[in-house]
Structure 1
Amino acid sequence: MTTQLTLGERIAWYRQRRGLTQEVIAGRVGRTVDWLSKIENGRMDLDRLSVLSALAEALDVSLADLIDEPRLMEWTEGSGQQTVPALRSVLMDYRHVTGMNIGTERDHEPMSLDSLKYALDDLWDGYQRAKFGYVVSRLVDFIPEARYSVSTQSGDARRTASGRLALAYQLAATVLTKLGEADLAWNASNRGIEAAHQSENPVVIGSLMRSVAHSLLSTGSYAEAVNLTNHAAEFLEPHLVKPGATLLSVYGTGLLAGSMAAARNDDRSTAREFLDVAERTATRLGRDANYLWTAFGPTNVGMHRVSTAMELGDVQQALNLGPALDTSGATTERRVRHALEVARALSTANRREEALAEVLGAEQLAPEQVRYHFLSRHLVQTWVRTQKGKPSHQLKGLADRLRVT
């Protein structure tokens, strides 16, 4: 019903469904009626998730309802015709929940630990190249195989297999978050943290804690995500006396997730603290790296400084930092996410042509990621609706590909 509505129109639609006046909703979020009227009529842009989360709470709807998620996942050559519904069936397998033997129906040898590692490497590589359809379709088969492998192992081998299963669940949660499937991502994170504890590996446990934090972020539970970041840091800190590069990377990326949570919670000092500690950790690591698929290093810290600045409304700071940041060595997924943030800052500063160029460049790198991200859809729809005269050929083509009007 609300797919083709603008964000402001969607807020008005839910407000009217609740039978509430603008005065009531504006009062609940500590704003004026004039402010809410401008939001609903499209005369003022709104893309700060902290404010959107407050509006969602006032309307008693989910954050996903307001930002029009999830979106239908397109079939691609990589995905075939097996996407999110198939993965949902795997994650909600009752045999796993009830503790029943999930491997009795399999009549083949389980995957070896090496095979699990190679397959998992391939899947995470696919995610970092923003091949979301490929990842979702392959996880449908990989997760049951990884579960089967765990069920047939014992001792150290079982702990290792559990760690790889946990990281598969983390990948599922990560890609589902990108697709707007917040509740299903939470399910995957929950399964993953269970498997991580069975691995008894602090690095894997720390990595899955970050996964849970991201799932909390996707549902608008920002204060809880901040608290979890602090707990995760406390859990990892005893292991940081003589840490390896992987542990440093997991610790640092957890702080980056926390910085976003704090920024969306309008907690400027905590966001800055998390970023500063992450920067010191990146300096300690000494370079940009990708241990355990974290893409952690000084560049990723810089990207998060831009993103948190935008969440806190510091547009000029984002413009000072974002366009100048060299992301050429980063993973595709990280480069595209940064490009969308820069486009957001440029659009807010009324530099729409430059912002459009950023989104088009990002689309060339990762069309799936741009198609499903809230920011790209919101920006393009806003530009089309507020354009004086007909939109340019480039803008219209982009809107058609993103299926927004």
Structure 2
Amino acid sequence: MPTLDDNHTGARIKEQRKLGRLTQRQLAARLPYSYSLLNSVECGLRPATADFVAACAKALGVDVTVLTGQPYVSELQRDRLAELIRPIRESLDLYDLGPSPDITARPTDQLVATADRLCREVRATHLRSAARQLPGVIAELTHLAWSSPSTRLWRSLASTYRTAHDISVKLGYYDLSAVALDRMDWAAQRGSDPCLAAVRQYMRALVYFREGEYGIGQRLVAAGHQVVGQAGESREALAVAGQLHLGASVISARAEDQTAVDLHIGEARRIAERIGDAADVHWLSFGPANVALHRMSAAVEMHQYDEALKQARTMKLPPQLATSRRAHFLIDRARAEMETGSTDKALEHLVDARRMAPEQTRYHPGARETITGLVHLSRRTPERLNHMAAWIGL
């Protein structure tokens, strides 16, 4: 059976608490959680859920990644993913340097199609392939956008910055994701694209969702609605507005505001019924299925695990749904199964998520914490769980 060392979230919470000269009871007094839960998490007897970690980070005045330990350097190096990050970082720094005499860019049509394909690869969880190609595409698009400016090129460049953000988040490089979002705004403004600008606000809101700053996240969603309102009633604008409502639903769930959750899910459902599946719009996966998935995610965030499982068991995911969304569903369901005592089913869903999207699952904080929780709930660890624990570096 794997044993827990000091490299887990609970141990890092304990370390930061001591650095802040706080006792467990003093920290617990600052949290919307009990002393007993804090004690159990620090000892590794209970998994540190995302909302619990966000609350601790806020109370301790540290970044969430200080407590989660992201990025997972040893695993990233073993998977040869860490070496792909530096070229992405460097490509993001080219934005204001103008055209490059050293670059011979591909034709615009080919580059735009490649940028779209990279978005699609991330949705299919082919992170390594997308990360390897991305820096060159950003460099070529930056060169072309400066040498032959056009709305199409600026929008495509904004799209590649969004892909850089997505890859950075999935691998735990949140500092790099923030840079990518700034670049996305810079390019979207030059492309005069209110929909892309609103997508960027949605992604910024999710950054604050992870950090536990729900008020700021809700304000960013509202700002996104204002921006997308400039695009009129097009299908594209409606899909983006619907996705903003979905983002607001999980932020409201983390803030334990059931009324707001119901409101935003209702608005998103209304839009989805009007436009149907719109997964092609900025690769947001918006549509009836994604509304249902966010409704379940909101129940998980509000610790309504029985309700989440009730929804999960009746859910039929369409074949065209992005692999990244399918894997996220399995990870959410695994957490709900574990919290309701169905540890075998929880492990089964995590194994399925790994089979479907190995890179995404390995570096997903929720998956890692659920695996850790299963280890400590098991008197005798099944061989499959041993393999999963070793796989995430436990």
Same topology, TM > 0.5? yes
Q: Which moved more, 1:187-196 or 1:284-293?
A: 284-293
Q: CA deviation at 1:176?
A: 1.0
Mark the runs of 5 or more structure 2 residues left unpaired by the alignment.
none
In structure 1, distance between residues paired with 2:52 and 2:368 = 18
Quote the residue 1:165 is aligned against.
157
CA gap 1:214/1:113 in 2 versus in 1, 3 angstroms: farther
CA gap 1:221/1:147 in 2 versus in 1, 3 angstroms: farther
SS of 1:130's partner is coil
In structure 2, distance between residues paired with 1:313 and 1:401 = 27
The reply to whether residue 57 of structure 1 matches residue 49 of structure 2 is no
TM normalised by structure 1 equals 0.89
| Aligned partner (choices 220, 234, 241) of residue 228 of structure 1 | 220
In structure 1, distance between residues paired with 2:77 and 2:40 = 38
Higher relative contact order (CA 8 A, sep 6+): 2
TM-superposition CA deviations, 1:285-319 (whole Å, max 9, x none): 12363322111110001000111111111112101
Contact 1:252 1:281 in 2 (8 A): yes
Quote the residue 2:109 is aligned against.
114
TM-superposition CA deviations, 1:257-281 (whole Å, max 9, x none): 2222222233332222221111111
Quote the residue 1:149 is aligned against.
144
In structure 1, distance between residues paired with 2:47 and 2:171 = 23
In structure 2, distance between residues paired with 1:342 and 1:320 = 10
In structure 1, distance between residues paired with 2:137 and 2:371 = 36
In structure 1, distance between residues paired with 2:262 and 2:379 = 39
The reply to whether residue 39 of structure 1 matches residue 29 of structure 2 is no
Q: CA deviation at 1:223?
A: 1.8
AA aligned to 1:134 is S
Mark the runs of 5 or more structure 1 residues left unpaired by the alignment.
none
AA aligned to 1:15 is R
In structure 1, distance between residues paired with 2:222 and 2:124 = 30
Q: CA deviation at 1:67?
A: 1.9
| Aligned partner (choices 302, 321, 325) of residue 312 of structure 1 | 302
In structure 1, distance between residues paired with 2:81 and 2:37 = 45
Quote the residue 1:24 is aligned against.
26
SS of 1:293's partner is coil
Matched pairs, number: 389
In structure 2, distance between residues paired with 1:234 and 1:271 = 20
The reply to whether residue 284 of structure 1 matches residue 279 of structure 2 is no
SS of 1:289's partner is coil
SS of 2:313's partner is coil
TM-superposition CA deviations, 1:144-177 (whole Å, max 9, x none): 11111100113xxx22111010111111111211
Q: Indicate the RMSD between aligned Cα atoms, in angstroms.
A: 2.2
Quote the residue 1:125 is aligned against.
120
SS of 2:314's partner is coil
CA gap 1:402/1:32 in 2 versus in 1, 3 angstroms: closer
The reply to whether residue 89 of structure 1 matches residue 85 of structure 2 is no
Q: CA deviation at 1:221?
A: 3.0
Contact 1:182 1:219 in 2 (8 A): no
Residues 168-247 of structure 1: pairs in structure 2 closer than 5 A: 168-241=160-233, 243-244=234-235, 246-247=236-237
In structure 2, distance between residues paired with 1:281 and 1:328 = 18
Contact 1:129 1:332 in 2 (8 A): yes
In structure 2, distance between residues paired with 1:76 and 1:31 = 36
In structure 1, distance between residues paired with 2:383 and 2:83 = 33
CA gap 1:192/1:266 in 2 versus in 1, 3 angstroms: same
AA aligned to 1:323 is R
CA gap 1:81/1:125 in 2 versus in 1, 3 angstroms: same
